[in-house]
Amino acid sequence: MRMMTKKLAAIEAGGTKFMCTIGDSSGEIFAQERIPTTTPEETIKKCVEFFHNSHEEIEAFGIASFGPIDLDKKSPTWGYITTTPKPGWQNADLVGGFKSEFDVPFGFDTDVNGAALGEYKWGAAQGLDSIIYLTIGTGVGGGLLSNGTLAHGMLHPEMGHIILPLHEADIEQEYFGSCPFHKGCLEGLVCGPAIEKRYGQPSHELDEDHKAWDLISEYVAQALHNFVCIASPQKIIVGGGVTERSAVLPLVRTKLTKSLNGYVKTNTIENMEEYVVVPGLGNQSGSKGALALAERALLEA
Amino acid sequence: MRMMTKKLAAIEAGGTKFMCTIGDSSGEIFAQERIPTTTPEETIKKCVEFFHNSHEEIEAFGIASFGPIDLDKKSPTWGYITTTPKPGWQNADLVGGFKSEFDVPFGFDTDVNGAALGEYKWGAAQGLDSIIYLTIGTGVGGGLLSNGTLAHGMLHPEMGHIILPLHEADIEQEYFGSCPFHKGCLEGLVCGPAIEKRYGQPSHELDEDHKAWDLISEYVAQALHNFVCIASPQKIIVGGGVTERSAVLPLVRTKLTKSLNGYVKTNTIENMEEYVVVPGLGNQSGSKGALALAERALLEA
């Protein structure tokens, strides 16, 4: 007879794919499957099948989702995706679709809050308790861990939408960003589509020495300056396709130091190479983040 | 024989005055004295005398201080004021000067974190757990309570120094703010001295319909927009001389709604009158904040 040990189930729920993971409380991953995001019903059904077919005994569930989502445990729509522009997903009962199949504790948070928690438990932020995880790709989002707790507050952080001063080059071109809501917000200025719009090429086709990277780094550094002044993180982890470009983070570090201009003086920030870093969990930040949500749900149950 | 019940001691330590308070864990205040801020030795000595002369049995001590300060309990300089420009106060052992006289638990935090805690316990933010307290006067500072804990992280928030887009009126006048560290930071743009510099009159002498208030409100609203997107507070409490002007907060609320442009949709923020508010503790925000730090220190001891 095969011995069954209890496992954790995790889903990184994105607009393109739902990445399903079976792992354990040490962050080890045993199985993974990529389910394309179609309708809520179909997508959730396929995810449920994956976990059922694994024949693992699931002890807790973690879902790290695209948003906006309802994180208020007292709300009747806790566990829902709410006002997303994604067709078919408005007011989708994401957690409910799994909870009816698995009677275990559920952790639920934003994808980026999940990633922040994963980096704190098993990645680049171990031993710290206050960090920001920022991802810059097709969209921009940020998660905030403060004193070991994930920030929800009124809703959850929406860090891609902070307003920044426009760079001269964008003022000259009258480019105010790609966000339909805000002129000059971080996401609108630095996301992949904004880069393509400015230079007529997808960002991954641009050379390492393309002037785009100086401009993007300038905006990211300004955003980080504001993160430092508002939340005082002990480390800022920057993931996502745009910042995987090797030109970007070194420029961001230099520009952040210049922007803060010695006002915030700590040993931590003097060591800028260790202050602004790539994810320690690499491309598993999201999945391990969801796993960390499952583990925390188990501990809190 | 007089019955002695135990009391809490609190100090709001500012650059101009140290406000000493004796109170209790319900937030009631029994005695207060204003000590002018001179040298650390003399100021601390006079405060110590006040508490000794009260003949109260002090159960815990709370100090809410101007900064920057060292909040890291593992640091040998915990309880110190650190790199302040205030002459004589660099590396002043603020808590130590009291701890040698009173062998009780000590709470220590920034003035604005203290005020945030006070508002949470006894003021405008009761029943919430994630709030920002912002004060705008001669300087600008902000405190952050996240999930019921005060944000320290790397240092502590320095919200006055976030970078904002410059308003056209300031660009035309080539006015980039009064901060010697940052061009276009919140404090440099909206503090009392910046208003006086622009209009040639102290801010308290300006009429309620002076154009200054529209400009100031614009910047404050932009700052609040960024606070919402980064920390997602359930309420933002705005105190300090500048925002006591009745013209300011109504304008800030309108401009914040316009700036967020429906992107962050919650019942909380739709009720903007209750979202951006003045301190519930009025001019006792600071003293009661320090009292709340004492009470928390007692609970955690």
Tens digits of residue pLDDT in A164-221:
999 999 999 999 999 999 999 999 999 999 999 999 999 999 999 999 999 999 999 9
The arithmetic mean of pLDDT across residues A126-134, rounded, is 98
B232 touches chain A (CB under 8 A): yes
Q: Is the dihedral of CA B188, B192, B196, B199 positive or negative?
A: positive
A232 touches chain B (CB under 8 A): yes
Distance CA B296, CA B289 (A): 11
- The answer for A 103-162 residues in CB contact with B (under 8 A) is 129-130, 142, 144, 146-147, 149-162
Per-residue pLDDT, A4: 58
Per-residue pLDDT, B245: 86
A84 touches chain B (CB under 8 A): no
Per-residue pLDDT, A2: 46
User: In this structure, which amino acid lies at residue B285?
Assistant: S
Nearest residue in chain A measured CA to CA from B225: A162
The b/e string for A49-63 (b: 16+ C-beta within 10 A; e otherwise) is ebbeebebebbbbbb
> Are A149 and B154 a contacting pair at CB < 8 A?
no
Class of domain B8-111+283-300: alpha beta
A40 touches chain B (CB under 8 A): no
Q: Where are the beta strands (DSSP E) in A94-172?
A: 106-110, 131-136, 140-146, 149-150
Q: Choose the mutation target among B84, B163, B182, B219 for the interface with A, i.e. most A CBs under 10 Å.
A: B163
Distance CA A138, CA A66 (A): 13
Per-residue pLDDT, A3: 52
Structure tokens at A212: 């785009």
Nearest CB to B157 within list A68, A147, A231: A231
Residues of A in contact with B142 (CB under 8 A): 230
How close B161 gets to chain A, by Cα (Å)? Answer: 6
How close B77 gets to chain A, by Cα (Å)? Answer: 13
Residues of chain B with pLDDT under 50: 1-2
User: Can you give the pTM of this predicted structure?
Assistant: 0.97
Quick check: B225 and B255 in contact, CB under 8 A? no
> Phi and psi dihedrals of A147, rounded to 5?
50, 40
Cβ–Cβ contacts within 10 Å for residue B300, how many? 9
Segment A12-50, tens digit of pLDDT = 999 999 999 999 999 999 999 999 999 999 999 999 999
Does A258 score more than 60 pLDDT?
yes
Per-residue pLDDT, B5: 74
**Which whole-number Å values give the CA distances from A210 to A186, A206, A217, A247, B169, in the listed order?**
20, 6, 12, 9, 34
Distance CA B132, CA A1 (A): 57
Nearest residue in chain B measured CA to CA from A223: B163
CATH (residue range B124-278)? 3.30.420.40
Write the CB contacts of A262 (distance below 8 Å, at least 6 apart in sequence): B181
Structure tokens at A82: 């709410």
Which residues of chain B does CATH 3.30.420.40 include?
8-111+283-300, 124-278
* pLDDT band at residue A96 under the 50/70/90 scheme: very high
Write the CB contacts of A244 (distance below 8 Å, at least 6 apart in sequence): A278
- 3-state DSSP call for residue A86? coil
Quick check: A224 and A261 in contact, CB under 8 A? no
Write the DSSP string, B224-285.
HHHHHHHH--SEEEEESHHHHSTTHHHHHHHHHHHHHTTSS--HHHHSHHHHEE--TTGGGH
Write the DSSP string, B107-135.
EEEEHHHHHHHHHHHHSTTTT-S-EEEEE
Cβ–Cβ contacts within 10 Å for residue A232, how many? 25
Nearest CB to B161 within list A146, A149, A263: A263
A194 touches chain B (CB under 8 A): no
Q: Of B8, B39, B49, B50, give the one whose Cα is nearest residue B26.
A: B8
Q: What is the largest CA-CA distance in chain A?
A: 71
B277 touches chain A (CB under 8 A): no
User: Residues of chain A with pLDDT > 90: what percent?
Assistant: 94
Nearest CB to B232 within list A154, A222, A232: A154
Does A246 score more than 70 pLDDT?
yes
How close B27 gets to chain A, by Cα (Å)? Answer: 25
Quick check: A61 and A104 in contact, CB under 8 A? yes
Q: State yes or no: cis peptide before B36, omega within 30 of 0.
A: no
Quick check: A150 and A170 in contact, CB under 8 A? no
Average pLDDT of chain A is 96
Q: Of B295, B246, B283, B301, give the one whose Cα is nearest residue B34.
A: B283
Residues of A in contact with B268 (CB under 8 A): 154
Distance CA A132, CA A160 (A): 12
- 3-state DSSP call for residue A104? coil
The b/e string for A126-141 (b: 16+ C-beta within 10 A; e otherwise) is eebbbbbbbbbbbbbb
Structure tokens at A215: 């401009």
> Are A159 and B230 a contacting pair at CB < 8 A?
yes
Per-residue pLDDT, A1: 43
Strand partners for B10: B21, B62
